[in-house]
Amino acid sequence: MKHLIVGTVAVIALTVGSARAVDDKWVEQNIEAGKSCVASFERKFGETKGHDWVDCMTDQTNKAIEGCIGGRSRREFSICVAGRTLKVMQTCDLSKC
């Protein structure tokens, strides 16, 4: 699961980073927030069936970045997505899982 987090963050960073709106600090913050969130998820749900951390965070991230779509420049879009993605990881709302 931990490798999946790093892989997911790397893909997001590469996508958003293509517009040069993301820096190393954002990547580090996202990785740390992701690790912390996974640990919280594992403490709360353990091996319980029907709870998937990736699906939960993906759904929350998709909802969070919906407001970034439309009427923005490529740079503004990238900054919006990066900020909201990080906020979802840092907030780690497991009540929606």
Give 7-59 pLDDT, tens digit per residue: 555 555 555 554 444 578 888 999 999 999 999 999 999 888 888 888 999 99
Per-residue pLDDT at 12: 56
Query: What's the predicted TM-score (pTM) here?
Result: 0.72
- 81: which 2 tokens? 């997505």
CA distance 27 to 11: 11
Per-residue pLDDT at 9: 56
- Name which residue leads in pLDDT, 92 or 22: 92
Task: Give domain limits for the chain.
Answer: 2-92
